[in-house]
Amino acid sequence: MKLVVCGKGGCGKSTIVALLAQQYAQSGKRVLVVDTDESNAGLHRLLGTEAPKDLMDFVGGKKNMMAAFREVRENNTPSPIENAKTIDSIPAEFISGNDGIRLVAIGKIHQAGEGCACPMGALAKQFLAGLELSANDMVIIDTEAGIEHFGRGIDKVCNAILMVIDPSYESLNLAKMVADMAATIGVPLYYVLNKTDSMTGQTLRNTIQDKSRIIGEFSQDSTILAAGLEGRQMPADYPAVTEVMKTLSMLG
Ligand SMILES: Nc1ncnc2c1ncn2[C@@H]1O[C@H](COP(=O)(O)OP(=O)(O)OP(=O)(O)O)[C@@H](O)[C@H]1O
Ligand SMILES: [Mg+2]
């Protein structure tokens, strides 16, 4: 399964990606986390691993990659990521982690003035669309804040979308937009509430129109906050994750 995790800035996407990854790995799945957020560079720490080399370098950098993809479209040449179609075939330097959880990062903005992030979006989509999984593989995709990933076509090549909703007006607004976009592309959408307390959790549940989409709630938790602050690996046995995994398992 390919699961894309989205939501507004700072709502807890990367944290929940890491929590899910840990628990899926513990349950015996082979987990691949794909980092498509070109701005944030700390996800590897939450997974307890090193940062891999950008997958963008595997396809020759931004400029070469766009030219190569144009060639694919116009002249039907082989895709530059033809050789990374399964988790096992991704060259070691572009993947970090261990047997349980592996991490691929599409590409990061490293320097001022290096151009827009469009090539990262194009590569993320091509890579995810072409990635062939075995039954035991679980791919979890971390995204940049907002809804750019819909524009990039990432959600369309995934099996489910998990939107993280924190207690904010912005998140509630975004939830409606994401619901419309998910319906347009026909990909199942679920919500998890994050950083709630008894009052804000209830307010979110009262306000969200399609309550049947809510499949989990992560309360504001000082342990998570401390791990995030220190860049430490997330725990593998977090109770709220079990509920989310149960619903997602029904999708296959
Ligand atoms: N349930 C929680 N309880 C306490 N703190 C949390 C919780 N979830 C996330 N956080 C904290 O909130 C902050 C933002 O989390 P995170 O980086 O995961 O969000 P994000 O949505 O990935 O952000 P960005 O949009 O920048 O990628 C971090 O400091 C993280 O530790
Ligand atoms: Mg993040």
Enumerate residues 6+ apart whose C-beta is below 8 A from 177: 147
pLDDT in tens, the chain (252 residues): 999 999 999 999 999 999 999 999 999 999 999 999 999 889 999 999 999 999 999 999 988 888 888 888 899 888 888 888 999 999 999 999 987 899 999 998 888 887 778 889 999 999 999 999 999 999 999 999 999 889 888 999 999 999 999 999 999 999 999 999 999 999 999 999 999 999 999 999 999 999 999 999 999 999 999 999 999 999 998 999 999 999 999 886
Answer yes or no: is the C-beta of 130 below 6 A from any ligand 1 atom. no
Report pLDDT for 72: 87
pLDDT at 80: 83
Nearest to 201 by CA among 238, 232, 240: 240
Q: Counting atoms of ligand 1 from 1, which one is nearest the CA of 218?
A: 1
CA-based end-to-end distance of the chain: 7
Residue with tokens 């891999």: 52
**Cβ–ligand 1 contact at 143 (below 6 Å):** no
Pocket mutation for ligand 1, best pick of 13, 15, 148 (most atoms within 8 Å of C-beta): 15
Give pTM, 2 decimals. Answer: 0.96
List the domains of the chain with CATH numbers: 2-249 (3.40.50.300)
| Amino acid at site 246 | K
pLDDT of residue 115: 76
List residues, by chain if needed, whose CB lies under 5 Å from ion ligand 2: 13-14, 40
pLDDT of residue 152: 86
What is the Cα–Cα distance from 234 to 102, expressed in whole angstroms?
15
Strands (E), the chain: 2-6, 30-35, 96-97, 101-105, 137-142, 160-165, 189-196, 214-219
| Res 252: pLDDT | 64
> Could you give the CA distance from residue 101 to residue 21 in angstroms, rounded to a whole number?
7
Place of tokens 């082979």: 30
